[in-house]
Amino acid sequence: MTTVATPDIAPSPAESWTLPGRAYTDPQWFQQERTAIHFRSWHYAGSTQELARPGSYVTARILDQSVIILRDKDLAIRGFFNVCQHRAHELLQGRGQVSVITCPYHAWSYGIDGHFRTGRGVADMPKATGAFNLRSVRVETLADRFVFFNLDPHAPPLAEQAVGLEAELRAEVPDFAQLIASGAPSTQEINANWKVLVDNFLECYHCRNAHPAFADMLDMQSYRVASHPHWMSQKFSLRRHDNAAYPVEIGARNTRGLFWWLWPTTTFNVLPGSSELTVFNLLPLDTARSVQTLQRFALPGAVPDSARDRYSNTDLTDEDVSLCESVQRGLGSMGYQAGRFVHDPQGGEISEVAVHQFHRLVAEALGAMKSAY
């Protein structure tokens, strides 16, 4: 396969062009992201709470690779490729509890430590059983709460990539230590490249125009974005309790908008109101399609804020989906090559510094090479 020529992204956003349009539309570019980014990075899978007992498991996927993450008898969290070593049938689906992993196809079975147990006729295969163990996948946790997996056995540890992020989550998310996963994750397909979703998440330059109710609720002048090597934060103060998005009670536990992104596909989100956090995965499906998954964390027994949920899951989401799908169509236009970043040295409302850092990471991962636009 010919290597795509990725552009140099200038060190300063004030002097830099964006990634070119072809980065979002070229199947060859997408295929190289598959191995250079997605198969070498940490992706969110679920909550440690979902893996409380031996045999409890979640499945997760990045592109065509499915994994099982489970708690073994020694209470360690393990990860395995979700594929039977006999004829490649997927072993488990969704989330649940098992004592033995049994393939639905030919009933080969595995212990929750991944070791092969039984299969009809296998006893007559000399020296074969050790080769039938499930293939391991790296698993790590963030803040003792969030479970991540990485297909690359040699990737740097998650803790090295997320230096400082856990401390911010613990310090700034109200009641963080008490929040637990609430309900099953939800998913939504979006007709846009995964990078379009990340670009859109990482700036609020568009908020006044495209999210008027959001801008009525949160004080755009208080907005500050901070760019770190592999994660970013965006923070706001509440502007009005009575606003066009949803009412925020006087004395609410949280009166800020707090948003974090962790390279390459995970976001943590807090909206004003009662204590709650949502984790989004912005995962690729193909060149022009992505899937957005959402998992909610709340206090035990908390009643969901229906007005906040309605605004977040309908108005705000619909606005962002419409924006991203329009951008994806525009990126394929013969009238577009690349854009420029708007830079605010103070990290204020118009700053696109986090998008710039994201583009640098993409270009570096693909082995940035000089290329003329």
- Here the CATH number for the domain that contains residue 100 is 2.102.10.10
Per-residue pLDDT, 131: 85
The whole domain housing 267 covers 13-40+159-365
Give pLDDT, residue 184. 81
Examine the domain organization and report whether 163 and 105 are in the same domain: no
170 with 104, same domain? Answer: no
Mean pLDDT of 240-267: 97
In this prediction the pTM is 0.95
Structure tokens at 67: 């994994």
Q: In 273-338, where does DSSP find H-type helix?
A: 306-310, 317-331
pLDDT > 80? residue 7: no
**pLDDT confidence bin for 232, thresholds 50/70/90:** very high
Q: Does residue 2 register a pLDDT over 70? A: no
Helix, strand or coil, per DSSP, at residue 18: coil
pLDDT at 370: 35
The pLDDT assigned to 152 comes to 98
Q: Are 90 and 75 in contact (CB under 8 A)?
A: no
Claim to verify: residue 325 and residue 345 sit in the same structural domain = yes
Name the average pLDDT for the chain. 95
Is 346 contained in some domain?
yes
In terms of domains, do 145 and 221 share one? no
Lookup: tokens for 278: 């949502």
Query: Is 307 found in the same domain as 223?
Result: yes
pLDDT score of 127 more than 70: no
Please tell me whether residues 33 and 178 are part of one structural domain. Answer: yes
Per-residue model confidence (pLDDT) at position 128? 61
Judged on CB neighbours under 10 Å (0-12, 13-18, 19+), 154 is exposed
Residue finishing a domain among 102, 136, 154 = 154
3-state secondary structure of 183: coil
Confidence at 109, pLDDT banded by 50, 70, 90: very high
**Vertex 308: Cα angle to 216 and 218 (nearest 5):** 25
Answer yes or no: is pLDDT of 278 > 50: yes
59 and 72 within one domain: yes
- What CATH number does the domain containing 290 carry? 3.90.380.10
Q: Is 123 a residue whose pLDDT tops 90?
A: no
Which residues on adjacent β-strands are paired with residue 270?
258
Domain-ending residue, one of 96, 126, 154:
154
Judge whether 5 lies within some domain.
Answer: no
Instruction: Give me the pLDDT at residue 1, please.
Output: 55
Mean pLDDT of 55-71: 98
pLDDT band at 8 (very low <50, low <70, confident <90, very high): confident
What burial letters (b/e) apply to 335-368, b meaning 16+ CB within 10 Å? Answer: eeebeebebbeebebbbbbbbbbbbbbbbebbee
Task: Quote the CA–CA distance of 264 and 63 in Å, as a whole number.
Answer: 14
State residue 369's pLDDT score: 34
Q: Same domain, yes or no, for 249 and 292?
A: yes
Q: Are residues 172 and 108 in the same domain?
A: no
pLDDT per position as a tens digit, 280-331: 999 999 999 999 999 999 999 999 999 999 999 999 999 999 999 999 999 9
Total domain count for the chain? Answer: 2
Last residue of a domain, one of 134, 154, 174: 154
For the chain, what percent of residues have pLDDT higher than 70?
97
pLDDT confidence of residue 241: 98
194 and 214 co-located in one domain: yes
